[in-house]
């Protein structure tokens, strides 16, 4: 029925608003636990999101702030330990169920599952973060809905490089034209497009709403639903009031056939 076979989702900011009151708080908790007088407020963390990957973000912060560590400290090990502590704090937060899926996400996942559309994830966050988010967002068994979870340090380069999407496609056994990608950031957009995923939906969030997505064919503020129409920033939904499989099929047809 549909011209695409799978949807590949980003996680942070796409499936759920995990950044500001999730990852950011966990980073700050890890810093405090390590006795560091570092604090990433909302604005600072928003700027740091331009750097993809938690360990990379810590390293960038150290370099930009000119922070000098004791000469006996191994920088790689120090960053890895901080990031490990951050992950522990983040997982504990997820276990409380404090971070739900974004509006419309579960509806779209259910619709895809019922229609036989395969589901996959391509993200730079750790596999543990992905699984725990899905386990505690209110839908029993949700991690098992995703045939492929390509996550973390399993590829040499992180977004905006296409590596994680290329891996997800390989694990699905599909080519880019078989899929629709869903992202939330300019780094994610560049990664998806570089992997050949022209059928790309961008769902904005508070941290990415002012980024430029001129290269994305469809940009919405949220997926919307039967009771809340999606606000479209770029492209069109082909007659749908919210992002459903029909809208994604229209997107796919538009970019691959010029319709």
In a 10 Å sphere around its CB, with 0-12 CB exposed, 13-18 middle and 19+ buried, how is residue 5 labelled?
A: middle
The residues annotated as belonging to the active site are 10, 12
CA distance 60 to 114: 43
7 pairs with which residues across the strands? 119, 180
Quick one: tokens of 246?
A: 């029909």
**Helix extents (H) in the chain:** 24-33, 42-48, 54-65, 75-95, 105-115, 127-135, 163-172, 186-194, 245-257
CA quadruple 49, 52, 56, 58: dihedral, nearest 10? 20
- Own/partner pairs, 153-158, CB within 8 angstroms, 24+ separation: 158/52, 158/53, 158/56, 158/124
Do β-strands 232-234 and 218-220 pair in parallel, antiparallel, or remain unpaired? antiparallel
The pTM of the full predicted model, rounded to 2 decimals, is: 0.92
Task: Map residue 258 onto helix, strand or coil.
Answer: coil
Within 13 Å, how many C-alpha atoms sit on residue 84's CB side? Answer: 6
Task: Please check whether residue 104 is in contact with residue 222, taking contact to mean a CB–CB distance below 8 angstroms.
Answer: yes
Domains of the chain: 6-17+101-257 (3.40.50.1000), 19-95 (1.10.150.240)
pLDDT tens over the chain, length 259 residues: 899 999 999 999 999 999 999 999 999 999 999 999 999 999 999 999 999 999 999 999 999 999 999 999 999 999 999 999 999 999 999 999 989 999 999 999 999 999 999 999 999 999 999 999 999 998 999 999 999 999 988 999 999 999 999 999 999 999 999 999 999 999 999 999 999 999 999 999 999 999 999 999 999 999 999 888 999 999 999 889 999 999 999 999 999 985 4
CA 183 to chain centre: 6
């Amino acid at each position: 029925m549909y011209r695409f076979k799978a949807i590949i989702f980003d996680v942070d900011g796409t499936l759920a608003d995990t950044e500001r009151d999730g990852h950011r708080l966990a980073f700050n908790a890890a810093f405090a636990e390590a006795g560091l007088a570092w604090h990433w407020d909302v604005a600072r963390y928003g700027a740091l999101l331009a750097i993809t990957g938690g360990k990379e973000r810590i390293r960038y912060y150290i370099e930009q702030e000119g922070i000098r560590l004791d000469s006996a400290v191994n920088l790689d090990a120090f960053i890895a330990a901080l990031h490990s502590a951050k992950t522990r704090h983040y997982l504990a937060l997820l276990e409380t169920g404090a971070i739900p899926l974004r509006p419309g996400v579960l509806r779209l996942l259910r619709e895809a599952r019922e229609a036989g559309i395969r589901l996959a994830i391509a993200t730079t966050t750790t596999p543990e973060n992905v699984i725990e988010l899905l386990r505690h967002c209110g839908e029993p068994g949700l991690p098992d809905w995703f045939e492929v979870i390509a996550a973390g340090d399993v590829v040499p380069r992180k977004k905006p490089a296409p590596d994680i999407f290329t891996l997800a496609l390989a694990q699905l056994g599909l080519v880019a034209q078989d899929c629709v990608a869903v992202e939330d950031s300019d780094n994610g957009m560049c990664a998806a497009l570089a992997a050949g995923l022209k059928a790309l939906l961008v769902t904005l969030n508070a941290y990415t709403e002012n980024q430029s997505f001129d290269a994305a064919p469809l940009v919405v503020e949220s997926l919307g639903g039967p009771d809340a129409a999606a606000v479209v920033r770029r492209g069109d939904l082909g007659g749908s009031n919210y992002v459903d499989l029909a809208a994604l099929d229209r997107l796919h047809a538009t970019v691959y056939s010029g319709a």
